[in-house]
């Protein structure tokens, strides 16, 4: 063990999660985590996201490269396993952090709940925010019908928050499969075309602290309240996400969610 007075860096925490930390610092990092619960929570969140991505994408590592992508048909490409390398880079770049925010008011969610909701919500976000003609099933102009329909299908009251204060207009919504039950999916858009999505579904946990996850493209904030899980997805700007999420939380908290 090295000098325990040397602070543990962010890079060392990531190396610890990735199994790349030098042996001589392993004990120091574990001692640091035992006395710094916020960092311990962040490390647990990073591991949960990494496990989710491995579970979802590791099978791709062993898939043969399609003929149209084989090296003799491409120029300036790395060797045959370039797909695996790209996914590995994504795994390495994916960062998740937890922290007490303005609505931290309960026990932390289990890693599996955070993982399942966040991965599913980001998948849906990336799939639909690029759609131009069919991003939603029910248009935002039919807000009352949308809320009634989604509420009936998911089994709890769904409110499409008014986010004009954040410069966002309701595009509409759709019904999706969730981790354990149907999920309601709402999309919002700013005047500049910036899109946010709100994904909600039944969650087997009590109210939790805010959890943040991001990669180089998108960010997400996760929380649960009264048996319902919420994931707000959008740009990686955490302050902007928090601004929108606060308005969402305040309105769903009053609605009887």
DSSP secondary structure of 180-201: SSEEEEEEEEETT--EEEEEEE
Q: Which domains does the chain have, with CATH numbers?
A: 10-93 (no CATH), 97-255 (3.30.200.100)
Report the distance separating Cα 116 and Cα 247, nearest Å: 24
The mean pLDDT of the chain is 76
Which of 210, 208, 213, 172 minimizes the C-alpha distance to 189?
A: 172
pLDDT value of residue 121: 92
Question: Quick one: which H or E segment has residue 169?
Answer: strand 168-177
Q: Can you give the pLDDT at residue 98?
A: 37
* pLDDT of res. 54: 59
Q: Return the minimum-mean-pLDDT range out of 38-42, 54-58, 88-92, 245-249.
A: 88-92
DSSP letter for 85, please: H
pLDDT value at residue 118:
87
Contact 222, 231 (CB under 8 A): yes
pLDDT surpassing 50 at residue 50:
yes
pLDDT tens sequence across 18-46: 777 888 888 888 998 898 888 888 788 77
Q: Return the higher-pLDDT residue of 43 and 193.
A: 193
pLDDT at 22: 85
pLDDT digits (tens, 9 = 90+) for 59-108: 554 555 555 444 444 444 444 444 444 434 433 333 333 333 333 334 44
pTM of this structure:
0.60
List, for residues 201-222, the tens digit of each pLDDT value: 998 776 566 788 887 789 899 8
d(CA 193, CA 233): 15
Which range scores top for mean pLDDT: 52-56, 86-90, 91-95, 238-242? 238-242
Mean pLDDT over 231-242 rounds to 90
* Distance separating alpha carbons of residues 57 and 212, to the nearest angstrom: 21
Contacts of 146 (CB under 8 A, 6+ apart): 138, 139, 140, 160, 172, 173
Q: How confident is the model at residue 49 (pLDDT cuts 50, 70, 90)?
A: low
Q: What distance in Å separates the CA atoms of residue 90 and residue 110, rounded to the nearest whole number? A: 23
Confidence of residue 147 (pLDDT cuts 50, 70, 90): very high
- The string over 59-78, giving b where at least 16 C-beta atoms fall within 10 Å of a residue's C-beta and e elsewhere, is eeeeeebeeeeeeeeeeeee
Rounded-to-10 torsion of CA 196, 102, 41, 252: -50
The pLDDT value recorded for residue 129 is: 92
Residue 251: which residues within 8 A CB-CB, separation 6 or more? 159, 161, 162
How many Å apart are CA 54 and CA 64, to the nearest integer? 18
Contact 111, 45 (CB under 8 A): yes
Strand partners, 169: 189
Q: Which two tokens stand for residue 118?
A: 């966040």
Residue 22 has φ and ψ, to the nearest 5°, of: -55, 145
């Amino acid at each position: 063990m090295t000098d325990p007075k040397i602070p543990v860096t962010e890079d060392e925490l990531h190396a610890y999660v990735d199994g790349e930390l030098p042996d001589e610092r392993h004990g120091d990092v574990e001692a640091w985590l035992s006395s710094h619960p916020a960092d311990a929570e962040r490390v647990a969140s990073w591991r949960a996201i990494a496990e989710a991505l491995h579970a979802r994408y590791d099978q791709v590592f062993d898939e043969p490269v399609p003929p149209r992508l084989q090296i003799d048909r491409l120029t300036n490409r790395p060797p045959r396993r370039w797909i695996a390398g790209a996914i590995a880079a994504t795994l390495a770049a994916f960062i998740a952090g937890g922290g007490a925010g303005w609505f931290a008011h309960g026990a932390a969610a289990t890693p599996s709940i955070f993982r399942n909701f966040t991965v599913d919500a980001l998948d849906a976000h990336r799939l639909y925010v690029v759609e131009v003609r069919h991003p939603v099933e029910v248009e935002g102009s039919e807000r009352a019908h949308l809320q009634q329909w989604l509420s009936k299908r998911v089994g709890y009251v769904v409110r499409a928050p008014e986010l004009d204060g954040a410069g966002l207009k309701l595009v509409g919504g759709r019904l999706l499969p969730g981790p354990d039950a149907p999920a309601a999916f709402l999309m919002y858009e700013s005047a500049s075309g910036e899109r946010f999505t709100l994904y909600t579904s039944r969650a087997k946990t009590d109210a939790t602290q805010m959890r943040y996850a991001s990669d180089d493209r998108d960010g997400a904030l996760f929380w649960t309240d009264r048996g319902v899980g919420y994931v707000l997805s959008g740009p990686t700007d955490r302050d902007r996400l928090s601004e929108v999420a606060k308005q969402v939380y305040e309105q769903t908290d009053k609605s009887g969610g």
